[in-house]
């Protein structure tokens, strides 16, 4: 009897191994159930930017798309600027004492803002790499940074809330009421009327950018919100959460439009394409996904980072490329399908 049981177990194991080995590729890489298998993994070779000595936390294209900036983590603490077409390293900016979490170019491309684990934000001359101003007085590490569309204000998300600063003087303009919840991300609407942020309380909040009054609160995620992005027409907001999902919201009513599911780990970055038709997202499972922004159907997927974890994602201004920032210390630039 015992021999029969052992033989049965061996045969079962053989069947499972054979089944896995002969499973078509799409069955291995598709998720989401029979109604929507998602997109196959692209086999394209990305442009790989090597140079950071620690994980890359953030990535940002310049407004003209010719350059791309990347943020190095603790024990690196540098900002690097690259030629986005060739991958050549152009500048290395040193000014933070600890890791850099996030980056943002000013709308005219003349300034670059970096948010640091050292409780500071540094404003750089984007052409020369010279530090222009360091904003201090933040309570905890700064995880998010965003310029207003006219370039006059800079919003920051730190461990104690959301603040807005005058770019020219470095003076704090307003501290937004965030009930002392740690802010992980912040974004201005393209029309300059609103400011959105997410953080440790699992919610997305939207403020009137002029008055600082809370306009809307979105509830739906069940883990911290790690990134937010406005659509180009300012009518929708996308949020990426550690609950493995991306949600799309009506920016005027706060109602949830659709949930993007398929990531198997926490989602750490989200970005709209310049035309608003697509949405890019990245997660801790090291996949880069592109979705139809209207119906949450996955249309393209990339894999290639050599260690688990992707921290940020950005579309190029022409929408033809997508950059991802990896724990594997690289930035990878992918071609977006037409």
pLDDT tens figures, 73-89:
999 999 999 999 999 99
Question: Rounded distance, CA 40 to CA 52, Å?
Answer: 30
How would residue 137 be classed by pLDDT, with cut points 50, 70 and 90? Answer: confident
Do residues 97 and 118 touch, judged by C-beta distance below 8 A?
yes
Q: How far is CA 29 from the centre of its chain?
A: 22
Q: What is the mean pLDDT of residues 183-201?
A: 91
Assign residue 137 the CATH number of its domain: 2.130.10.10
Q: Is the dihedral of CA 93, 96, 102, 107 positive or negative?
A: negative
The proportion of the chain whose per-residue pLDDT surpasses 70, expressed as a percent, equals 87
Does position 177 have pLDDT exceeding 80, yes or no?
no
The proportion of the chain whose per-residue pLDDT surpasses 90, expressed as a percent, equals 73
> Which residue range forms the structural domain that includes residue 203?
42-335
Given the structure tokens 């970096």, which residue do they identify?
Answer: 114
As a whole number of Å, the CA-based R_g of the chain is: 21
Q: Is the dihedral of CA 142, 146, 151, 154 positive or negative?
A: negative
Mean pLDDT, the chain, integer = 87
How would residue 22 be classed by pLDDT, with cut points 50, 70 and 90? Answer: very low
Kindly report the pTM of this predicted structure. 0.86
Do residues 248 and 236 touch, judged by C-beta distance below 8 A?
yes
Q: Is residue 312 part of a domain?
A: yes
Q: Is residue 122 part of a domain?
A: yes
Q: Which two tokens stand for residue 188?
A: 């201005």
Does residue 158 sit in the same domain as residue 289?
yes
Does residue 24 sit in the same domain as residue 131?
no
- How many structural domains is the chain composed of? 2
CA nearest neighbour of 311 among 73, 110, 150: 73
């Amino acid at each position: 009897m015992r021999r029969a049981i052992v033989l049965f177990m061996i045969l079962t194991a053989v069947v499972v191994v054979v089944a896995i080995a002969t499973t078509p590729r799409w069955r291995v890489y598709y998720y989401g159930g029979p109604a929507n298998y998602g997109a196959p993994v692209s086999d394209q070779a990305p442009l790989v930017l090597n140079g950071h000595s620690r994980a890359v936390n953030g990535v940002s294209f310049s407004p003209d798309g010719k350059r791309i900036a990347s943020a190095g983590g603790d024990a690196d603490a540098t900002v690097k600027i690259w030629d986005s077409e060739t991958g050549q390293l152009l500048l290395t900016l040193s000014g933070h004492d600890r890791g850099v979490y996030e980056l943002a170019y000013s709308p005219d491309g003349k300034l670059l803002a970096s948010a640091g684990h050292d409780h500071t934000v540094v404003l750089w001359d984007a052409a020369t790499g010279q530090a222009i101003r360091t904003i201090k007085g933040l309570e905890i590490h700064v995880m998010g940074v965003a310029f207003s569309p006219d370039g006059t204000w800079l919003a920051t998300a730190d461990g104690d809330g959301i603040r807005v600063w005058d770019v020219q003087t470095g003076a704090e303009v307003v501290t937004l009421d965030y009930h002392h919840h740690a802010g992980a991300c912040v974004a201005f609407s393209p029309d300059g009327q609103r400011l959105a942020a997410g953080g440790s309380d699992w919610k997305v909040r939207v403020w009137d950018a002029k008055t600082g009054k809370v306009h809307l609160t979105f509830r739906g995620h069940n883990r911290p919100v790690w990134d937010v992005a406005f659509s180009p027409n300012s009518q929708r907001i996308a949020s990426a959460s550690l609950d493995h999902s991306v949600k799309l919201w009506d920016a005027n009513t706060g109602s949830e439009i659709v949930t993007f599911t398929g990531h198997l780990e926490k989602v750490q970055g989200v970005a709209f394409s310049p035309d608003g038709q697509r949405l890019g997202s990245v997660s801790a499972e090291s996949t880069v996904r592109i979705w139809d922004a209207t119906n949450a159907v996955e249309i393209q997927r990339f894999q290639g980072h050599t260690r688990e974890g992707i921290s940020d994602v950005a579309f190029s201004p022409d929408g033809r490329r997508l950059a991802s920032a990896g724990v594997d210390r690289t930035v990878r630039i992918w071609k977006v399908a037409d």
